[in-house]
Amino acid sequence: MFEALIKSLPMAVGIALSAGPILATIMLLMTQKAKVNAPVFLAGWIIGIQVVGSIIIFMPGVIADHVGMSDETGTAKIILGIVLLLLILLSFKKKQKQGEIERVPKLFNSLDKFGPVKIF
């Protein structure tokens, strides 16, 4: 069971971090300049996927399959998991109390001012 938890940790981190870009994408497409921003954003998204895909396809053997996991790798993953759990606990403690006004992150407030270069 412990091995299954260790192997699923990278996927869990990826899933946890994927909510931010999705939210930013939705908010970006809801700006007043969405008709200009959407095609530029889509072009950047497609080119980014093509670049990453090309790197993976044309560089075989760079990422080698490891049959076993070394002790250092296992220890690093456990430490990373503990650090992430502590960060989650801290974020729950800092959760706002009832009646407080929610603050919008500065990045989301500045999305209206993004030009095509930043959106790409």
Contacts of 6 (CB under 8 A, 6+ apart): 69, 74, 77, 78
DSSP character at residue 111: G
Rounded to two decimals, the pTM is 0.50
Instruction: Give domain status of residue 6, yes or no.
Output: yes
Q: Is 69 domain-assigned? A: no
Task: Give the model's pLDDT for residue 50.
Answer: 92
Contact present, 109 and 27 (Cβ < 8 Å): no
> What confidence score (pLDDT) does residue 47 get?
92
Residues of the chain with pLDDT under 50: none
| Domain count of the fold of the chain | 1
In a domain, 13, yes or no: yes
Q: Which domain holds residue 5?
A: 1-58+107-120
Is residue 18 situated within a structural domain? yes
Asked if residue 76 is part of any domain, the answer here is no
pLDDT in tens, 47-57: 988 998 888 78
